[in-house]
């Protein structure tokens, strides 16, 4: 089973024309899950209560975080999964707060020389900027600190600006719509940002590779 986790605060949404308007992170993760050829489960952190680590060390004795929120149920799904596809958006050049909080809590899984995510397969998806490596680097750092396997793949996808669906984009000089198109009457379908098709091509390749690596761990029909 491959577990997809989107740390975006937005679920994926398309308009009547089928254009993705929200939730690029979820959309790409779901695409990878679907193309992997493996059974999968998707979890969105949107709307979930995930506190950041408070450094209390209440987890030191038994590697179980003592904070009471939605994290523990997702932790158990991570344990059960063969691989994790984790995705998060870039907010101001860093991982969004929800993603940061979620990953901080893996601090609880590595005490007293027990590493409960050791060797876990993964893929990293980051949205918001194709150039900025900082979100991917942070996720890699957390995965390494848990001795997870080197990610099977990593994908950076240019984001969809919130300004196209905030409701005021056509007349707001602070936002990216007016910056790109000037003041306009309405945001027509033709100017909506489109996800680069290359992103889905790369996602498909990574998905295929991930599926094969997972199947290599559980060979049904071993190559002689
Ligand atoms: C508070 C905030 C800050 C953001 N800062 C950046 C940024 O610095 N660079 C960037 O490329 N995108 C930035 N974005 C845009 C998001 O990264 C982008 O919309 C991404 O696609 C969001 O993922 P989602 O569609 O899954 O919610 C920001 C968005 C928000 C809400």
Tell me what pLDDT residue 223 has. 60
Measure the CA–CA gap between 19 and 14, rounded to whole angstroms.
5
Residue 218 predicted with pLDDT over 80: yes
Are residue 119 and residue 107 in the same domain, yes or no? Answer: yes
Residue 41 lies in a domain: yes
Residue 224 lies in a domain: no
Residue 222 lies in a domain: no
Tell me what pLDDT residue 224 has. 55
Measure the CA–CA gap between 70 and 114, rounded to whole angstroms.
23
Instruction: Say if ligand 1 is within 6 A of residue 96 CB.
Output: no
- pLDDT classification of 144: cutoffs 50, 70, 90: very high
Residue 172 lies in a domain: yes
Residue 71 lies in a domain: yes
**pTM attached to this predicted model:** 0.96
Dihedral-angle region of residue 97 (phi above 0 means left; psi in -120 to 50 means alpha; beta otherwise):
alpha
Residue 174: give the domain boundaries: 162-194
Are residue 168 and residue 212 in the same domain, yes or no? Answer: no
Evaluate the CA torsion angle 14, 20, 25, 30 in order and state its sign. Answer: positive
Angle (nearest 5°) at CA 57 between 52 and 59: 85
Are residue 147 and residue 187 in the same domain, yes or no? Answer: no
| Helix or strand (DSSP H, E) at 124 | strand 121-127
Give mean pLDDT, residues 201-221: 93
Copy the structure tokens of residue 196.
């680069």
C-alpha torsion angle, residues 44, 46, 47, 53 (rounded to 10): 90
Are residue 79 and residue 134 in the same domain, yes or no? Answer: yes
Are residue 152 and residue 176 in the same domain, yes or no? Answer: no
Are residue 167 and residue 149 in the same domain, yes or no? Answer: no
Question: φ and ψ at 211, to 5 degrees?
Answer: -60, -45
114 near 33, Cβ under 8 Å?
no
Are residue 138 and residue 53 in the same domain, yes or no? Answer: yes
Residue 30 predicted with pLDDT over 60: yes
3-class state of residue 74 by DSSP = helix
Tell me what pLDDT residue 94 has. 97
What's the CATH code of the domain at 120? Answer: 3.40.50.360
Are residue 91 and residue 167 in the same domain, yes or no? Answer: no
Are residue 99 and residue 208 in the same domain, yes or no? Answer: yes
Tell me what pLDDT residue 103 has. 98
CA 185 to chain centre: 35
Tell me what pLDDT residue 222 has. 62
Tell me what pLDDT residue 130 has. 85
Mean pLDDT score across all residues of the chain: 95
Count of domains for the chain: 2
Residue 27 predicted with pLDDT over 80: yes
- pLDDT classification of 221: cutoffs 50, 70, 90: low
Evaluate the CA torsion angle 224, 215, 149, 117 in order and state its sign. Answer: negative
Are residue 187 and residue 91 in the same domain, yes or no? Answer: no
Residue 63 predicted with pLDDT over 80: yes
Are residue 17 and residue 126 in the same domain, yes or no? Answer: yes
Give mean pLDDT, residues 136-160: 97
Instruction: Say if ligand 1 is within 6 A of residue 171 CB.
Output: no
51 near 108, Cβ under 8 Å?
no
Give mean pLDDT, residues 137-151: 98
Residue 119 lies in a domain: yes
Residue to mutate, 23, 89, 135, ligand 1, most ligand atoms under 8 Å from C-beta: 89
Residue to mutate, 13, 42, 92, ligand 1, most ligand atoms under 8 Å from C-beta: 92
Residue 170 lies in a domain: yes
Give mean pLDDT, residues 24-49: 98
Residue 219 predicted with pLDDT over 90: no
Give mean pLDDT, residues 71-100: 98
Q: Which residues pair with 44 in a beta bridge?
A: 6
- pLDDT classification of 64: cutoffs 50, 70, 90: very high
Instruction: Say if ligand 1 is within 6 A of residue 22 CB.
Output: yes
Q: Which residues pair with 204 in a beta bridge?
A: none
Measure the CA–CA gap between 214 and 224, rounded to whole angstroms.
18
- pLDDT classification of 129: cutoffs 50, 70, 90: confident
Instruction: Say if ligand 1 is within 6 A of residue 11 CB.
Output: no
Are residue 174 and residue 156 in the same domain, yes or no? Answer: no
Q: 20-24, 42-46, 86-90, 134-138: which has the minimum mean pLDDT? A: 20-24
Beta strands in 83-120 (DSSP E): 83-91, 94-95
Give mean pLDDT, residues 135-151: 98
Residue 81 lies in a domain: yes
């Amino acid at each position: 089973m491959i577990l997809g986790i989107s740390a975006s605060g937005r679920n994926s949404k398309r308009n009547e024309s089928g254009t993705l308007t929200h939730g690029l992170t979820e959309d790409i993760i779901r695409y990878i899950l679907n193309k992997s050829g493996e059974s999968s489960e998707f979890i969105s952190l949107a709307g979930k209560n995930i506190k950041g680590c408070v450094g209390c060390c209440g987890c030191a004795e038994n590697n179980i975080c003592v904070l009471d929120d939605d994290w523990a149920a997702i932790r158990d799904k991570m344990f059960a999964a063969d691989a994790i596809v984790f995705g998060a958006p870039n907010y101001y050049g860093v991982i969004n707060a929800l993603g940061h909080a979620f990953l901080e809590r893996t601090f609880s899984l590595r005490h007293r020389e027990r590493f409960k995510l050791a060797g876990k397969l993964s893929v990293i998806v980051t949205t918001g900027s194709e150039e900025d490596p900082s979100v991917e680097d942070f996720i890699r750092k957390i995965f390494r600190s848990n001795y997870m396997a080197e990610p099977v793949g990593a994908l950076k996808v240019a984001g969809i600006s919130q300004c196209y669906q905030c409701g005021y984009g056509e007349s707001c000089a602070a936002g990216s719509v007016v910056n790109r198109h000037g003041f306009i009457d309405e945001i027509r379908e033709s100017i909506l940002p489109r996800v680069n098709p290359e992103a889905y091509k790369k996602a498909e390749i990574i998905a295929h590779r991930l599926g094969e690596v997972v199947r290599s761990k559980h060979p049904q029909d071993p190559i002689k």
